[in-house]
Structures are given as C-alpha cells and as structure tokens.
Amino acid sequence: MTVLLLILIALVLYHHVFYPMMMIGLSVLKRKQGSPADEIRQELPTVHIVIPACNEARQIGRKISSLAGLNYPREKLAVTILDDGSNDSTIRTAKQALREASSLKVAIIPGVRNLGKVNRLNMFLPTVQEDITVMTDASAILSRDSLRTMANHFANPSVQVVAGGYGLPEEAGFAQKVYWKLQQAIKRGENALGALCGAHGAFYGIRSGLFRPLPDGTINDDFVIPMQILLEEGGLAVYDPDIAIQENAVDSEKQDMGRRVRIGAGNLQQITLLSQPLLGNLFSSHGFCFLSGKILRVLMGPAFLALALLLPVAALADPVWLVPCLLFWLGVTIAALAETLPGPVGAIARMGRYLLLGHWCSMIGALQFGRLGHQGWTKTKWIDLQGGNLAQPLTCRLKRMVDFLIALVSLVLLLPLFPMIALAIKLTSPGPVIFAQERIGRALPDRTEIFKMYKFRSMHQDAEKGGKPVWAQQKDPRVTTIGRFLRKTRLDELPQLINVLKGDMSLIGPRPERPGFYQQLDREIPFFADRTYWVRPGITGLAQTVQGYTETVEEARTKALYDHVYALKTHRVSDWLRTDCQIVWDTIAVMALGRGR
C-alpha cells in the first residue's frame, strides 16, 4: 500500500505541477529566442474557413460579422457553414447576417437531419480545393489578422498544422480562466518542444490535401485531425497565441461539466486511436507529451479516487500517513465549500473545486465510453436523461460516486462499532440484530425501485403485530432501552451504508417510505411521488435534520416540501455540494447532541 500511495502521489504531482512547470519553462525560453515566422513574407495562400453548426442561432450572426472584418483578400477566402440539422433559426439568422456582409463569399450547406459533426466533416473536407482549411467554432471570434499570421507559418513547407490561442470572455469564472491559461501555457511548451498535442477547436488550420476521414464516432476531432496528419505525414505543428481567438459564449456550470465529460470520453478514445504510433515512439517529443499530458489526464480521476480510499486505511495502519490523509481531506472539504469562502482563500478553493470536478467528469466520461465503445457513445445521449426530472443527470452521477466513496471509507472506519452495537442489542432484548424492511426507492420513468433497507434493530421483536405499519411516535413503548440510545445518536442507521454501496440509497436524500404508508401519502399529498424522481432516498437529509421522524400525514406533508426543496438544490453542482455539506454538519450536530428520534 505504501508503494502504491507513493506512486499515486508522484503521478498526481508530476501531471499537475512538474509537467506544467517544464512546459512553462520551455515556452519562456522559446519566446526569448523569437519566432522566425515574423520575418517570412510570401504570396498569401487561399483559405477555406469551415464552421460546423448545430442550433447556433445565438452565435452565428456575430460570427459572420467578425469574418467580414478579417484582414485577408476576399478573392483568396471562402467560408462554408456546415449545418447539422439545426431545428432553430440558425440558417435564417446566417442569411440575414450575410446580407449585411455582402463582400464575404459564404456557402451554407443545410442539413435535413442531425448526422453528427464528424460525419459532416468526413463528407465535406475532402472536397475543399483551397490551400488551407481552417476549422473554427461558431462561438469563436477571430482576430483581424489571424489568417495573415497563420499564413506566415504555412510559408514554411514543413508546417502542416497551425493552431491559435484561446481566450474566454470577461464574464467567465475565475477558476475556468485559470484552467485555460494553464492549458495555453502547456501548449506553448509543447510547441517549443516541437510536439504540439492537438489544437483548440475554436481555431486551427491544416493543409487541405492532408485530411483523412475520421473514424465513425470520433469525439475530440480537434485532437485527432491534427495528430493524424502529423503522425502520417510528418512535419511540424505550430501553436501561436498571437492568433488571438475570443470565445463569445460562456457555458453554464452544467454545460461546462457536460463538455468535460465528453472530453474525458474523447481522451480515452484518442488513446485507443493513436496510442500505437505515439507510444511506439515513446521517447520522441510527441510520445513524451502524449504520455504526460493525455494518458495521465485519463488516470487522474481514478488516482484521486484511490487516494481518497487508501489514505484513511493507511493512516489507521501507520501514523505516518495521518498528516497526508488529513491534508487531502481538508483540501477536498475546502474545495466543496468554495462558493461560501471569501477572498483569496475562496479563489484558491474554487480552482481546487474546478480541478476535482473536472477529474470526476473526465472519469465518468471515460468509464461510460469504456462501457459503450465508439458506436454506443454516439448513440447514447446519456447526459440528457428523459423525463424532465428535478435532479440533474450530472449531479446524480457525481453524487453517486461521492456516496460510494464515503460509504466505503465510513464502513472501514466504523466497522469496530458493529460488534459492540450487536452485542448490546443481544444483551437487552431477544431477536435479530439487523432489522430489514421493504422501502420505496428512487422513481424512474419506467419503474419505482423497491429495496430492503437495513438497520440495527431498535424496537422489540414483533413490534408491529400482524405486520400492519404503525407511525413511530415520541416515547414509543416499542423502542428498547439500547434502541432509544441508538435512535438518538442515529447509530441504528449505520447498516444503511450497505444500502448506499449497493445503490439502493444515497447518503443524503428524501427519507425512504414504507409501502404501507406510501399509497396513503401519495393520495393525500400532491406530487408526493415526485420527491424521489431520479433522486435516491437518503440515510439523512434536509427533512430528517429539520423534522425527524414522521408521526402524522400533516408532518409527512411538511417533510415532502423539504424533499422537493432538496431535489431543486441538485440543479447546480455548486448548490448540491453546499447543501449536502450543510446537511452533513446538521446531522453531526443531531448525533452529538442526541436529538435523534
């Protein structure tokens, strides 16, 4: 375990600290030497700008207006908008913008249905006749001299790919800006080493005759297209941050996380597509950067997960790991509370939170791609679950991973309590130690889950005569002496960690109801069943910490409102994290003060 932990820590530090520092150092050295492209003068090549678009009505007008302002001869410039079955006003908005930019030669190829970006590119790019093909997103605004700067680099016949810099709008979050600045610094270092790995999809140019059709289902085309060209044709790739590309749209947190899930899947896919030629030249600059920047990125999510699981176990076995364990979990806690922390501490915490969430999303994407494969990924819109659920799919998946991790660690740490509690139950009343009872679980579009919930028995055996369900009540005579203590401290619910590991429950969520009460409550409380739509019931939750056990239908009505509030809090990852941290704190207070019922 010690060797494994040291390897994991070394990999995390290398990928996040030493490799970026190495690339930054190389980029600084390269800037001091200057760029030979600045001195090149040539006859400008013909350029064809290709803009894939699907439902880009909000962006396409500004995109066309920015292209009209490019400092490049119109007779040498062509533009094509590849529509992929847009069902909004993308084409109408583009035509209206073109009437105001009449000097620009633009073709719009409408798509009757959505075939996917890769299929559109495979059909169109082989037909391009111009010298240079430029790929650019509909939301990216090109700088006025971007094409001339690119053309200077292509004057060198060895250059096959030219990539531009990438800037976020002012309203983008602090952590997101820092992340992209670091990515640009790494790309500058890779460029100085002559081993640029991929390009920003916002802008890159290739020599037109070098494009080869992409494998069906390719996810990160802006990585695969340049790398295929470099590996098959040889030559150079140039990353020039002076080709300043400004992103026009700011992703919401949900969109940003969804994009990073997709990138995570693409990272694993590109390893399968390109690992043989790259790893065959592992000691080349391209192989080194691919291993350090891409392969290790796929491994970072599992590495953090393994550290979270192993550090507590190692700390129990050897005190030398106690400080690293505490520092690790302190960092995770601070990152989870990032939105509530002010000043510089909050800024650093938001960076940590963005990093950890990014690795979670990357791991989700990689796992999903590994399970579905190339074709399965393209056919499964797994981020957009059907049904208009209150809880967002991304949060559900992150929540499930956190549940599994914490439940596993908690079981390991609390396992010594189990035999002591079992002995106390056996000494004070006859009957089984573990009480199992059917409960209603998560509601899904096609079914409602039913599972057996486990608890330490806190009531006398056969407390419900005839099996008829009875509301729990204050000073319930059916509760045993030790059971009263277990309920006040919530220790009776420890076996539910097993339900969490199995996926029946979550650590935090609505209280799981019994089938005998469920039908009555569903009849008398509007939208009662919706409180667990895509939301697993929890060991603790907002309603449990505020209200405790339910004794009447009216109390159940109030509790249902709290459950709906919690489901709404899962709309954003930041709200979910903040709410769950508060519930955990309140639950600890209930247990410590013996306020459970």
The pLDDT assigned to 385 comes to 31
Residue 226 CA to residue 241 CA, distance in Å, equals: 17
- Which of 344, 361, 359, 331 shows the shortest CA–CA distance to 174? 344
Residue 42 CA to residue 76 CA, distance in Å, equals: 14
Count the helices and strands in the chain (H runs, E runs).
21, 13
Pairing of β 159-164 and β 204-207: antiparallel
SS3 content of the chain, % helix, strand, coil (to 5): 60, 10, 30
- Which of 18, 210, 216 shows the shortest CA–CA distance to 126? 210
The pLDDT assigned to 579 comes to 84
For residue 99, count other CB atoms closer than 10 A to its CB. Answer: 7
477-511 burial, b at 16+ Cβ within 10 Å, e below that, comes to eebbebbbbbbbbbbbbbbbbebbeeebbbbbbbb
Q: Counting beta carbons within 10 angstroms of the beta carbon of residue 125, is it exposed (0 to 12), middle (13 to 18) or buried (19 or more)?
A: buried
Phi, psi of 479 (to 5 degrees): -80, 135
The pLDDT assigned to 518 comes to 65
Torsional sign, CA 258, 364, 118, 162: positive
pLDDT tens digits for range 300-311: 988 998 898 889
The pLDDT assigned to 519 comes to 67
Residue 191 is which amino acid? Answer: N
Residue 398 CA to residue 228 CA, distance in Å, equals: 34
Residue 480 Cα to chain centre, angstroms: 46
Residue 263 CA to residue 383 CA, distance in Å, equals: 13
Long-range contacts of 113-118 (CB under 8 A, 24+ apart): 113/85, 114/54, 114/84, 114/85, 115/84, 115/85, 116/84, 116/378, 117/52, 117/54, 117/84, 117/221, 118/214, 118/216, 118/217, 118/218, 118/221
The pLDDT assigned to 151 comes to 93
Q: Where are the domains of the chain?
A: 35-250, 261-384, 393-593
DSSP string over 434-495:
EEEEEEEEEEETTEEEEEEEEEE--B-TT-SGGG------TT-TTB-HHHHHHHHHTGGGTT
Which pTM was predicted?
0.62
- Which of 427, 481, 490, 428 shows the shortest CA–CA distance to 456? 490
Q: Counting beta carbons within 10 angstroms of the beta carbon of residue 252, is it exposed (0 to 12), middle (13 to 18) or buried (19 or more)?
A: exposed
pLDDT tens digits for range 411-449: 878 888 888 998 998 888 888 888 888 888 888 777 788
CA angle centred on 205, ends 199 and 211, rounded to 5°: 95
The pLDDT assigned to 293 comes to 84
Q: Is 236 helix (H, G, I), strand (E, B) or coil?
A: strand
Q: How many CA atoms lie within 13 A of 6 on its CB side?
A: 4
Tell me the pLDDT of the chain (597 aa) as tens digits: 888 899 999 999 999 999 999 988 888 877 655 554 444 456 899 999 999 998 888 888 888 888 988 999 999 999 999 998 888 888 889 888 888 777 788 888 888 777 888 888 988 999 999 999 999 998 888 888 999 999 999 999 999 999 988 777 776 777 778 888 888 888 888 888 888 888 888 899 999 989 988 877 788 888 889 888 887 777 888 998 888 888 776 666 667 777 788 888 888 887 777 666 665 565 677 778 888 888 888 889 889 988 988 898 888 888 899 999 999 989 888 888 887 888 888 888 888 888 888 888 888 888 777 655 544 444 433 333 333 334 456 677 778 878 888 888 788 788 888 889 989 988 888 888 888 888 888 887 777 888 899 999 888 776 666 555 555 555 667 788 888 888 888 888 899 998 998 888 999 988 888 776 666 676 777 667 777 777 888 888 887 777 655 556 677 777 778 877 787 777 777 778 888 888 888 888 777 765 555
The pLDDT assigned to 59 comes to 87
Residue 262 CA to residue 368 CA, distance in Å, equals: 10
For residue 170, count other CB atoms closer than 10 A to its CB. Answer: 7
Phi, psi of 211 (to 5 degrees): -65, 135
Is 191 within 8 Å of 284 (Cβ atoms)?
Answer: no
CATH number of 35-250: 3.90.550.10
